[in-house]
Chains A and B, each alone.
Chain A
Amino acid sequence: MKKVLLSIFALCLSLTGYAQETGSVLIKDGTVITITNGNKADTDVLIEDGIITKIGKDLSAPRGVETVDASGKYVMPGIIDAHSHIAAVDVNEWTNPVTAEVSMEESINPNDINIYWALAGGVTSIHLMHGSANVIGGQNETLKLRYGTGMDEMRFDGAPRTIKFALGENPTRVHGQGFNVKPRTRMGVEQVIRDNFDAAQDYKKNRQAYLAAKEAYENGERKNPPVPVAKNERMEVLVDILEGDIWVHTHSYRADEIMMLMRVFNDYGIENFTFQHANEAFKVAPELKKNNAYTSVFADWWAYKFEVYYSTAYNASILNANGVKNSINSDSGELIRHLNHEAAKAVHYGNTSKQDALKMITINPATQLGIDDKVGSIEEGKHGDVAIWSGHPLSIYSTAEATYIDGKKYFDRSEDPNDMRLETNPETDFEETDKRWYNENGRHGKTCLQGAKIRFTKKGMKYKSN
């Protein structure tokens, strides 16, 4: 009986504990784009049990480790997308201007085909973000694209917690225009943030005082029980932001709102933050640099709404020239398929060097997500997240041929199926398949408002349900 109980216990353990599979591979004779230490011709990269253990010439494979010939090819760190909504189940909890308590943690679909398509573009990690409907939105989740595994297996272990903020048209439209709730203006956006930060500081003070008094009461050091201060998850998260435990990624476009948030963050001592989209960041590049702010921008999206009308595709190059650490993101199931090509546009618009352009899709987004000690470059000791490219990855004529995460291969072009259905019945015509909401043509940045399916008419707001 004891044995049976034990084995049941063991089974339960094996079910609850999750294993993030690793692999070993020796990639030989490629041009290795290390990102942090230049390009190395005819060089081997050895990955053992998920970790890059050796970079050098004429390495030999340990017993049982597969060797892959990359001669004439390029080996590059896996691309990291600092702004994505692929693999999301839900994106926007758009019912309140502040929803810090919600999280993308339980909103991950490991079987989303977009993950595979991204792997085929050499992408290995994404920042799965909450939407931009709310001034203080939900918490994001950093993922590794372990396609077809499970929700827990998708997580990037050890990545810092991050949260989404949003400024400008999206929150003022959804809440002010839509619900007649503050903020209706950029003035309101600032006060929503300050009000909530103040409330969080008070909450922390009161809650701590209450907990101390409660403890004193329980220890008999105090006569009467204190008036309870209830635990409030939203406030707890805001406190974590104020204490630097959660990094802030802010949907923003205009220079003025970027300046506003930096003032607010300075007032509250918040140090680690990235401006997402930031189409007008180029106008305040010196200020961003001074405040050690990061930016994560589109290569060339603009003019889809008024706040991106005064944009320039030279944004990334201007930021880079002014010393701002910038990444190029997709925010799209389409652009994520060719972020290498989006990075090449930083060369086209403003002559950013090839090396710096590549940093914008590798080490820079890794830094912005706090995972640069693990990924974003090919270095001994870092994770075996790499892709093999047929040519220089910034060329339009290059394709990703294989993509590895922790040394395990998740994409191989030579084994790429014609039909992604697991069981294909040739008699079945799948003509009736519904289109996905994210079947986009890559033109409009509406994914950020996905979920907030709100239309505004002269009579007011209409909510369109699924």
Chain B
Amino acid sequence: MSKHADIIMKYFKSILSACLLVLFVGMSAEAQITEKAEYGKFAITNATIHTVTNGVIENGTVLIDGKKIVGVGQDVEIGSDYEKIDASGKHVYPGFMDAGTQLGLQEIGAVDVTNDQAELGEFNPHVRAFTAINPSSVSIPVTRVNGVTHVISMPVSGRLAGKATLIDLYGYSPDSMAVSPDAAIHLNWPTSKKGGWWDDRSKEEVKKDYKKNIKELNDFWSKAEFYDKMVTAYEKNPDDKQKPDADKKMQAMQEVVNGKVPVIISVDAKQDILNAIEWTQKHPDARFILAGVQDGWRVADEIAEAGLPCLVSTLYTPERDYDNYQRPYQNPGKLHEAGVKVAIATGGVENVRNAPYHAGFAANYGLGKEEALKAITINSAEIFGVGDKLGSIEEGKQANLFIADGDPFEPMNHITQVFISGNKIPMVSRHTQLYQEYLDRGPQKNNK
């Protein structure tokens, strides 16, 4: 075979394998839901209702009509057209939210063609997670049947990774899932620290790189502020002014620099957190949220004073070898104690379903059950400006909730029914389907 043909063959093979993969993924997506969600009027009765914002209601009723909750309490009149769901001995919670994931952007970690969370380039404010959310991701049903009904899904690469999206976990298109399509922008804070074992830079090089990275960020930000001023001035009075050139990146930054869309700053080490705080204070018009924040307990007072909310998890190993083993578990509690608003963010994809257990560890190590519950519901909703729609069981809010046979932070307990925007979700995922099929393969197949 000629060299040319060889290359063509090679390309053909890789295209073929990509196609096959797409086919596989496509097939599985089709097979993941065997029943459709029900939609209409539901009355969940005799439940212990954990409203989050109005305490716990024993033996109560939640009425759902369409997308919304239309009644909560002990003396709620149930119309004859409501389908009753008896929740005696069970608990109702608002749907949980994971405030930092790549769910829907990545299907299989090690298969590059299924990874859409990392665009090339350092500054990508115009890149939107919303665009690349795959509603058929197999991980989505796997996540929601564990009670996680909403996630922030965000791009992760470069300095300004792009816009994060806030979605619910039921729908046939990104559009139908989005609560706010562009919920935030994600900034990877330039670290002044050395990285892991792979980082072979000298101390001087690390310092130099940090200065360079900060300068690039500041330059980009200043340019964006200037662009926003120019556009604003032009729009106010277009006469005798030249219209600023279209610039997708700068246009995408306008809603960021003027504070309409918040900035999620991923940052972990103590000095980096302090640097980031100082930097945010130079931009009073913008809104900031810290994420990761593994050293947060070291500088909790400074974070509280700066008024920055934090997106945190608990199931990781301590930031430093010599740190006390409990610090990751205690971090949310210590931040809360200092006055910081905390929300749970796992940083996960296929195992976002473990978000309740991150909250459980936080609850057990200082945050307490009540605050931990807020950290995985109303706090995230408020941080992303949708506290009026999500995060608690209240009349008028979206019907995002689930029924559990006990405390949902406790892994031994089970979620029995999930509602997302009023949709009664089939409690089915690839994991439950494989269980149903293989628990008992049947006698005829066991023979060989």
Chain A residues within 8 Å of B, Cβ to Cβ: 113-114, 116-117, 120, 169, 282-283, 285-286, 300-306, 309-314, 317-318, 321, 333-334, 337-338, 341, 344-345, 347-350, 354, 394-397, 399, 416-421, 430-444, 453, 464, 466
Contact = CB atoms under 8 A, between A and B. Distances in A.
17 contacts: A301-B351, A303-B107, A310-B28, A312-B430, A318-B438, A321-B439, A341-B411, A348-B413, A349-B435, A396-B364, A416-B326, A420-B323, A430-B320, A434-B194, A434-B199, A437-B197, A441-B347
Interface stretch (B149-157, B213-221, B355-363): B355-363
B396 interface: no
Contacts of B198: 453, 464, 466
B430 A310 contact: yes
B270 A303 contact: no
Nearest to A300: B351
Given A301-B351, A303-B350, A306-B110, A431 B270 contact: yes
A294 B321 CA distance: 35
A395 B357 CA distance: 11
Contacts of A439: 196, 316-317, 319
Interface string B410-433: 111110000000000000001110
B134 interface: no
A120 B353 CA distance: 25
A397 B363 contact: yes
Which of the listed residues B270, B326, B435 has the most CB atoms from chain A within 10 Å of its own CB?
B435
Contacts of B430: 310-312
B203 interface: yes
A354 B316 contact: no
Nearest to A255: B438
B324 A416 contact: yes
A266 to B, nearest CB: 14
A348 B432 CA distance: 12
Contacts of A120: 325-326
B13 interface: no
Contacts, number: 174
B208 interface: no
Given A334-B317, A420-B323, A397 B360 contact: yes
Which of the listed residues B107, B317, B357, B440 has the most CB atoms from chain A within 10 Å of its own CB?
B317
Contact of A432 (B138, B193, B432, B438): B193
Contacts of A311: 430-431, 434
A306 B108 contact: yes
B45 interface: no
Contacts of A305: 108-111
B299 interface: no
Nearest to B110: A305
Contact of B435 (A169, A318, A333, A431): A318
A113 B354 CA distance: 25
Grouping DSSP codes into helix (H, G, I), strand (E, B) and loop, the A interface class, with mixed when no group exceeds half, is loop
Interface in B287-332: 313, 315-326
Nearest to A435: B196
Contacts of A421: 322
Contact of B321 (A314, A394, A436): A436
Nearest to A354: B412
Contact of A317 (B138, B409, B435): B435
B446 to A, nearest CB: 5
| 6 nearest A-B pairs in the assembled complex, by CB-CB distance | A314-B435, A303-B350, A305-B110, A312-B434, A396-B360, A344-B411
A348 B414 contact: yes
Contact of B350 (A304, A306, A395): A304
Contact of B320 (A285, A314, A433): A433
Contacts of B319: 439
A113 B412 contact: no
B197 A435 contact: yes
A333 B316 CA distance: 9
Contacts of A285: 438, 441
Nearest to A352: B412
B324 A418 contact: yes
B423 to A, nearest CB: 23
A348 to B, nearest CB: 5
Given A286-B446, A301-B351, A303-B350, A430 B322 contact: yes
Contacts of A345: 411
A440 B111 contact: no
B348 interface: yes
B195 interface: yes
B360 A347 contact: no
A326 to B, nearest CB: 14
A437 B199 CA distance: 11
Contacts of A437: 196-197
A359 B430 CA distance: 27
B139 interface: yes
Nearest to B196: A435
A432 B194 contact: yes
Interface in B82-124: 107-111
B448 to A, nearest CB: 8
Contact of A282 (B111, B270, B434): B434
